[in-house]
Amino acid sequence: MAGERPVAFVAERQIPPSPPPVRTGGALGWARDNLFSGIFNSVATLLSLAFVAYILAMVVPWLFLDSVWNASSLQGCREVDDGACLAVINERFMQFVFGFYPDDLRWRPVVAFVLLFVAIWPALFSSAPRKLLIFSALYPLLAYWLIWGGSLWGPVGVVVGPAIGWACVRFLPSLAGGRLDEGIASLAAVGTGILATALWWLFGVTAFEDALSAVLVIGLEPVESARLGGFLLSSIIGVSGIAGSLPIGIVLALGRQSNLILIKAVCVGFIEFIRGVPLITLLFVAWLLLSYFLPPGTEFDLILRVVIMVTAFASAYMAEVIRGGLAGLPRGQYEAADSLGLDYWKSMRLIILPQALKISIPGIVNTFIGLFKDTTLVIIIGLLDPVGLLQPIRADQNWNGIVWELYGFIALFFFIFCFAMSRYSMYLERNLDVGHR
Amino acid sequence: MSSTGQPPPEPFRVRQLLYDTRYRSYTIQIFALVVIMLAFAWAIDNAVRNLAALGKDIDFGFIFETSAYDINQHLLDYDSTSTHGRAALVGIINTILVAIMGCITATVIGIFAGVLRLSRNWVVARLMTVYIETVRNIPVLIWILFTVAIVNEALPGIRSFRGEDAMSGLLFDSVFITNRGFYIPAPVFEAGSAVVGAVLLLSLAAAWYFGRWARVRQAATGQILPVFRVRLAILTVPVLLAFFAMGSPISLELPALKGFNFKGGIYMRDSLIGLWLALSVYTGAFIAEIVRAGILAISKGQTEAAHALGLRPGRTMSLVVLPQALRVIVPPLISQFLNLTKNSSLAIAVGYMDATGTLGGITLNQTGREMECILLLMAFYLAASLTISGAMNAYNRRASLKER
């Protein structure tokens, strides 16, 4: 066998590669598959594209190409160009952020805002030092003091209350010295502690503040509530509502699941009542009625009253979300906790709640988002959140006639915050979803 | 068997109240009851003392007093000499009107957007995602104000429908969209329309009865009747016959420009339009997500199993997929309807006179009776919510899967 003749069935040359099928290759194939697979689909695609192009053609030149950033009035804007008159946002930006908060004191809310992140750090990340939780617990008072100002001794006096209560719980049982049954003694100590704290808050704080202020004056310049506004106000109401509604919601949800008929009835009544009425009526209550139910002559800040009602409102919704999580757990989990011999609080804290809260994260964050959006309703009772600031600006002679720029700006603000929150919840869901569900 | 006898009864000791689970729950509940009663007593005592200090009392007599204010949209007879009670009723009817209109359009928008978001068409699906995410993340109050601003600022004024180069209305000059609101044709009922209405009611009853009869017959004999076509015939033919037999007693009255404004037809004012559209678009985005979740919740195996049994696609949808998807969709859908109704109270921000605007707004300001007005307002919303959620619970009990 000489090598001059090749074997008949072995190819000498490589066959040139054939082109890929038209339908699957490249962007065109994808477009044909996904966008133009039928007459109906093609029409829908073209209509959508036309709609997007129409909107973009309207908004892009107006917002980016022809917009005016520097002018002192709407006429000034129009003299420069006929696009969006963003000069109004440029001029009023600080008002949108702080309301009518005094210019030279604006560093105080800023500091409070920055410290907020320190305070929520241990709540968001488990790697944070645990000692920071003490700071988180003290943060509300610190923020209150920074934003509203006044004597430092007021907030300190408020902190002293729980300290007294803790001292009662810690030292009273040993004072009883075995004369009482141990459990009854500790229960009595807890009761005394709560009572002492409440009494201190009701009667002691003012005297404490006055006495110490007479000795040493430490304080910030007070700022009235009426001067708070803008995004600062939204954030105050939103953050305190969020911080308050989660624990109260958990308690309400547990109460609703409880075997104790009276506790259950109270929780169901509260939740259904709050969920049955619009937030506006609750804000009316905060505005007009709440002071009727407090001792005569009580001076009580409107923003604080609104925070209380908004928290109550969000708590009821939070309770329903968490109840869903509790009901979503298999019964076996409850039975397993019982069979381990854990008492009610331990089984809730160690077994049930960690799982139930994990399931309810999307709902919890949705409630947060809803709460934050609902802070805009306070304009109806006359507080000046960003939406409330629109009316004075539109009534201003210089800016009379501006509509879309202002609404767009406020909408963008809320969109950024709410969208970020919803993305964070998706991230959490993915991160916590370890293996099973 | 010898009975061992009862264990000797232990003497009751105080510490059992704390340690014995038989008694502990009572201890806790009685303690909680005392605390709650004390808190209520304290609040009520404060309220009584505060009211006494202001020289006020609790008195609902203002309901029967003359209201002395006008309401720009009233579906009942109402003027400023009517009572506060009637003003509240007008407001409640306005709330119900905008709530029903909003629920219908929100459902349509929601189903449309929810289905399209699952479309394989990338552009359409993205567009719906953008719609849903944008709308859901911006407060409804801003949407309401924004929509009213669009109606007032961007729509043509009434002036543009007058003069030489006048715009003509939509749908053969019968609907006029202006910056003051929409003008649409109004039905006019003349003598004889009662007969048409009665015939309509009778044919509704007949159609319902026929459906039931067909179902019973199918269960008994296995024969499937053409229910839809027969029902359509029952519903349309007699009514049309009655309509023409009575000499067309129902006609449309078109709005027409007279002087500076439109006369005739139905006037839907700007605040109603803005509120209605904003609530629909806002709630529609939430409903879209519910619809999407409902569709995704039905596994593909269900459809395939139905096909394997030999069911045609239409029956697969109506007998297998829809009943299961509706079980997932309906409860959150109803709670969205409730949310829409409660959000309609934001009407007060745009001057639409709903229950909050009359009872919680002008009546409250004029009479100065905050306690009574807000109580009545809350009672109205609470009654509406509880009625709807009661109906929803009844549906849930009927439709829910029976498991352990």
Using CB atoms, pick whichever of B29, B364, B381 lies closest to residue A260: B29
CB contact under 8 A, A266 and B14: no
Considering only residues 328 to 367 of chain A, which have any Cβ-Cβ distance to chain B shorter than 8 Å?
A: 331
Segments of B74-208 assigned E as strands: 176-178, 181-184, 186-189
The pLDDT tens digits of the residues spanning A320-351 come to 999 988 988 888 998 999 899 898 889 999 99
Residue of B nearest to A289 (CA): B371
What's the pLDDT band for A55 if we cut at 50, 70, 90? very high
Q: Is residue B51 part of a domain?
A: no
- Average pLDDT, stretch A367-380? 92
Distance from CA of A109 to the nearest CA of B (A): 24
- Average pLDDT, stretch A159-166? 86
Beta strands B256-258 and B176-178 are unpaired
Instruction: Please count the other Cβ atoms lying within 10 Å of the Cβ belonging to residue A366.
Output: 19
Averaged pLDDT score across all residues of chain B: 86
* Range(s) of chain A covered by CATH 1.10.3720.10: 91-101+226-432
Q: What is the pLDDT of residue A284?
A: 93
* A181 in contact with chain B, both atoms CB, cutoff 8 A: yes
* B241 in contact with chain A, both atoms CB, cutoff 8 A: no
- First and final CA of chain A: distance in angstroms? 71
The boundaries of the domain holding residue B104 are 84-155+269-399
Mutate which of A36, A190, A281 to test chain B, going by most B C-beta atoms within 10 A?
A281
Interface A–B counts its CB contacts (< 8 A) at 151
**Whether pLDDT at A437 is above 60:** no
Residue of A nearest to B139 (CA): A373
Residues from chain B that touch A279, judged by Cβ atoms under 8 A, are 342
* A184 in contact with chain B, both atoms CB, cutoff 8 A: yes
CB contact under 8 A, A289 and B370: yes
Q: Would you mind telling me the total number of residues written for chain B in this entry? A: 404
Q: How many domains does one find in chain B? A: 1
Q: Is residue B94 part of a domain?
A: yes
What CATH number is attached to the domain comprising B300? 1.10.3720.10
Mutate which of B137, B342, B350 to test chain A, going by most A C-beta atoms within 10 A?
B137
Q: Is residue B27 part of a domain?
A: no
Highest mean pLDDT among A121-130, B59-68, B246-255, B372-381: B372-381
* B15 in contact with chain A, both atoms CB, cutoff 8 A: yes
Q: Is residue B210 part of a domain?
A: no
Token pair belonging to B30: 């009685």
Distance from CA of A49 to the nearest CA of B (A): 7
* A39 in contact with chain B, both atoms CB, cutoff 8 A: no
Residue of A nearest to B371 (CA): A289
Residue with tokens 């001059």: A4
CB contact under 8 A, A403 and B25: no
* A142 in contact with chain B, both atoms CB, cutoff 8 A: no
What's the pLDDT band for B404 if we cut at 50, 70, 90? very low
What is the distance between the alpha carbons of residues A389 and B373, in angstroms, rounded to a whole number?
A: 28
Q: Is residue B69 part of a domain?
A: no
- Average pLDDT, stretch A233-246? 92
The pLDDT tens digits of the residues spanning A101-158 come to 888 888 999 999 999 988 888 877 777 787 888 888 888 888 988 888 888 888 888 8
What is the distance between the alpha carbons of residues B250 and B190, in angstroms, rounded to a whole number?
A: 6
B364, burial (CB in 10 Å: exposed 0-12, middle 13-18, buried 19+): buried
**Are B186 and B266 in contact, with CB atoms under 8 Å apart?**
yes
The pLDDT tens digits of the residues spanning A283-313 come to 999 998 888 888 887 777 889 899 999 999 9
Fold of A91-101+226-432: MetI-like fold (1.10.3720)
B176 has which bridge partners? B183
- Average pLDDT, stretch A73-101? 85
Distance from CA of B225 to the nearest CA of A (A): 33
What is the distance between the alpha carbons of residues A53 and A65, in angstroms, rounded to a whole number?
A: 16
What's the pLDDT band for A431 if we cut at 50, 70, 90? confident
Q: What is the pLDDT of residue B1?
A: 47
Q: What is the pLDDT of residue A436?
A: 47
Using CB atoms, pick whichever of A285, A291, A293 lies closest to residue B374: A285
The pLDDT tens digits of the residues spanning B347-389 come to 998 989 999 988 888 888 888 888 889 999 999 999 998 888 8
